[in-house]
Structure 1
Amino acid sequence: MFSLQSNTTDIKTIDLKNPEVLLATLQELRQSIYQQGEEIFQRWEPLIKRRSFRKSAQNLAYYLALQSHDLRPLQAALIPWGLSSLGRIEARVLPNLDAAIATLAAICQTESYPLPPRPSIQSFLEGHRLLRRHTQDVLGKPWNNRWVRIMVTLPKSAASSYEYVRSLLQQGTNCVRINCAHDTPELWEAMIHHVHRAEGETGQPCKIMMDLAGPKPRIEQTINFCESDRLFPGDYLFLRRDLLGAESANNSSFGDTGYPQLTCTIPEVLDSLKIGANVWIDNGRIGACVESLSGEGVLVKVTHASHKGSKLLPDKGINFPDTLLNLCPLTEKDKQDLDFIVSHADIVGYSFVQNTSDIDLLEQELQTRQIKRSNPLAIIAKIETPQAIQNLPELIVHAAGKYPFGVMIARGDLAVEIGYQRLAEMQEEILWLCEAAHVPVIWATQVLEKLVKQGIPSRAEMTDTAMSEKAECVMLNKGRYQGEAVRILDDILKRIQEHQLKKMPQLRALYSWKYYDRS
């Protein structure tokens, strides 16, 4: 009935209205998942050094086996019998199946099948216990009656204002993020000093995460722009390979045309571009398509920009979603920053992770530095590309098998790389896979963005924030109203956790509506 060689399960022709047929189908499904899951786990087992992650890796293997089948008809057939539709199975694959099988067997009043034992309450809930344990290992203990943690990106001013840092903790911040792409080690050390001082005064623990900058292509120089410095759809833009000044650029073949030009911090990425490839700048605010190639660089035509024109500023990121960039995820600057991170931070944020060799590379660098620490540094893998999503199960096992580990859904770069229309879908898949592996997820990018920067939230971002309760941590970016955003986010998360646990509705009594006799 079930084929391990295919990615789908053909159960549409089975009479699932018959409870005995439904029971046999569940039994065969369970056996297939167990066999295939064990094959996956045995391949992973040599990589797992942390004993606390063994059961989690095994559950992830079973979940991958489960997701090789299309179970929608089976789910629909289970619901009329008052059984689990398997829609909350991520953290407990086999216990959930075993519980459904045992209950269905009781309904059928049959003992003709070799039934798995009904799981104990402890084993049924073990996945949730492991997720909470692994979350605490990475992000610290929950605080202030709130399960989902709040992470805040520290601005430069946090180095000079202790009061600002203390107020963030008082409002509900559980973890701070320092972006190593900005500022200096001296400023980072001042920020960290203020965090530790605030921990002592407020009594609230606060983890410190430091993000490695990684090989992010960015604008380095802009040349030949008109007075408005704005681009419109239909404009042309020249991406140069070399870092020439404005005078040299004006003497080049493309400089004579008067096209606006820019140089890239990683010029070798231009060698991989092909005609027709898409280029996105500044988190997708400007879109372009490659028109022609030359020895000096790449000519692109602007396809997307604001109707009022979009400014092109130095240090803004550049994405090449159609082009596979074989860049080492650890730059020389990252390695220098790691020396500081292992001595000062609790968590390292790993940018542009795409395959398991990237995890191995970071591990090699950490092994030479971990002697400075009494406890292992936790790793957060930032998922920003289609390749990272495709390789996510293997990335999880390689990292969580050795270190406290979590995943950040870096929605800024990810949306540009996979397309905005696929972001919500891929976000859900990342959440499901991580819950199956019992590893925490950080929901990041543009959370309460308008509130953080302007002081007034939009309706849409309030809804997005409520949905973030599915993750274990929510990250806020820098902005003038950051403290107010922490306070409001704390309130939203506390309210939503009364109604929602991951994706399971909590049937708390509704106080917004009261039954009354209309007669």
Structure 2
Amino acid sequence: MMTDQPALPAPPSAEPADRLLADLIALRAAVLAEAGERLARLAPGGDAGAGIHNLANYLALRGHDLRPLQRRLMSRGLSSLGRLESRVLPTLDAVIEAAAALAGAPSPTAAPDPAAFFAGETRLAAEADRLLGEAPGHRRTRIMVTLPSEAAGDPGLVIDLARRGMDVARINCAHDGSIAWRAMAAHVRTASSLTGRRLTVLMDIAGPKIRTEAVATPDKKARIAAGDAIRFVAEGEPRPTADAPFSAVVSLPDLVTRLAVGDRVRYDDGKLEGVVESLAPGEAVVRVRRAKTGGVKLKSEKGLNLPDTALGLSPLTAKDENDLATVIECADMLGYSFVSRPEDLDLLEDALARRGATESRLGLVAKIERPEAVRNLPALIARASGRRPFGVMIARGDLAAEIGFERLAEMQEEILWICEAAGVPAVWATQVLEDLVKDGVPSRGEMTDAAMAARAECVMLNKGPEVGRAIELIDRLLSRMDGHVFKKTPTLRALASW
């Protein structure tokens, strides 16, 4: 009978144990050789810590298709390669020693003692404490909460969030101003004192805003549908025409001037996608290929994503440079938007040094939200290593709009793996429990998503009227998940439902 279902992998054929041992030894040798080349690129000066060494080993290993080997190991009760992110060589050495015992042969490697085997986990936990502050005793993943504007004038609001379980307060520097930010930070310090826990502050500098400004539509109720055309204008006023009745001025003129015919443009977190159809001086016409059912309204202050276009923008704007003085004064961590290349980290370090912030007290969280940042993630981690406490935020909103919703699920997994291999704390961000935060009732899908956040060192909730309830729920959820899984590893707590 014909079937459309993919066939299960064929069971491995019986083989002598010494053949499996030989293949494992060859794999280890290949990993070491390839890792040396990767390490030379990641740390050309030769000054790399244990995390970067393990990252190079991990990247080398994952350049191989390990699926056939995994099946062979599983049939002998030896498979552990699927959980080796933080301990590549120790795991290979342990598996080789076990395979050698099965083959009745001397092992060319010795399995490390437990402390050395789990050293990567210990290193990651220490880095998370250094960056984010210590986790509460009942869960490993910290809870970060974006403070609303009213938190500046309401210390009780911040104290309430802390008592419900907030560990990190996020201040979004795209809104409000330095007076409000100082007040928010002061309220967090007060809440820390009252709760007896060290709460930390992340201040997220805005970066370049790629948004619509003034817009023109055929009428107030008009919605854009597939097949419609939008004219984006670099400067001046919107210019609607009969063939392109929707028009918007963009916040950055370079957005228009760097586009090429065929480039994709996504609007408002991917609610609409089109391709550049034609170009003229200072403007681009985009033909809509896909839009949300019922159409999409064209509004000002909505985000634009250009996944195919190299904008060449500096991630540090003049506003950001001015805001750094307040960040240095008030924050424990700085959130860095639009970082894509290692040189972007140097740019920030130079700006901090000009303001005297050369010490490593201020942590740095790189927001991964563009395809270049994903491709350059190992190089970004290597460049940041040793400078100051460092973490990565998986900014899933912009990232999904840039790489496409279809690829987001696998990419957020891969980012978690890379961070774990390097011993870098990860923040799971964007629209976590969004329905609960806004409306008081979570969806089934977002509950599953929130549970998956237990594999990160921190999860971020956005502001909203029911954020307090969301904190309490995710606090309980993360605590329960910690009993079942650590990163990719099931911990096998006893089940109580059967």
Contact 1:144 1:172 in 2 (8 A): no
Report how far residue 238 of structure 1 moved. 1.5
Once the two structures are superposed, the pairs formed by residues 73-222 of structure 1 within 5 Å of their partners are 73-111=68-106, 115-222=108-215
Partner deviation per Cα, 1:210-241 (whole Å, 9 max, x = no partner): 11111231111113451215323333222111
SS of equivalent residue, structure 1 residue 468: helix
Report how far residue 380 of structure 1 moved. 0.7
Q: Does 1:388 align with 2:373?
A: yes
Report how far residue 102 of structure 1 moved. 1.0
Partner of 1:5: none
Partner of 1:318: 304
Report the AA paired with residue 139 of structure 1. L
Contact 1:277 1:323 in 2 (8 A): yes
Q: 1:394 to 1:296 in 2, by over 3 A?
A: closer
Report the AA paired with residue 102 of structure 2. I
Report how far residue 38 of structure 1 moved. 2.9
Report how far residue 470 of structure 1 moved. 1.2
Partner of 2:19: 21
Partner deviation per Cα, 1:302-333 (whole Å, 9 max, x = no partner): 33333333222221111111212111111111
Residues in 2 aligned to 1:291 and 1:398: alpha-carbon distance in whole angstroms: 39
Q: Does 1:283 align with 2:269?
A: yes
Unmatched tracts of structure 2, length 5 or more: 1-9
Q: 1:361 to 1:47 in 2, by over 3 A?
A: farther
Report the AA paired with residue 447 of structure 1. V
Partner of 1:365: 351
Partner of 1:479: 464
Partner of 1:446: 431
Which of 277, 289, 309 is matched with 1:303 structurally? 289
Give me the TM-score of the superposition, normalised by structure 1: 0.90
Residues in 1 aligned to 2:282 and 2:135: alpha-carbon distance in whole angstroms: 54
Which of 379, 401, 405 is matched with 2:364 structurally? 379
Contact 1:16 1:74 in 2 (8 A): no
Report the AA paired with residue 128 of structure 2. T
Report how far residue 258 of structure 1 moved. 7.3
Contact 1:449 1:477 in 2 (8 A): yes
What is the count of residue pairs matched by the alignment? 488
Partner deviation per Cα, 1:120-161 (whole Å, 9 max, x = no partner): 111001000000011111111011411001111111111111
SS of equivalent residue, structure 2 residue 465: coil
Which of 234, 239, 254 is matched with 1:268 structurally? 254
- Matched residues, percent identical? 45
Report the AA paired with residue 457 of structure 1. P
Residues in 1 aligned to 2:489 and 2:219: alpha-carbon distance in whole angstroms: 54
Q: Does 1:65 align with 2:50?
A: no
Report the AA paired with residue 180 of structure 1. C
Residues in 2 aligned to 1:201 and 1:306: alpha-carbon distance in whole angstroms: 47
Unmatched tracts of structure 1, length 5 or more: 1-11, 514-519
Which of 382, 399, 402 is matched with 1:414 structurally? 399
Residues in 1 aligned to 2:464 and 2:492: alpha-carbon distance in whole angstroms: 36
Partner deviation per Cα, 1:446-490 (whole Å, 9 max, x = no partner): 100111111100000001111111111100111111111111010
Residues in 2 aligned to 1:364 and 1:318: alpha-carbon distance in whole angstroms: 29
Q: Does 1:498 align with 2:493?
A: no
Report how far residue 301 of structure 1 moved. 2.5
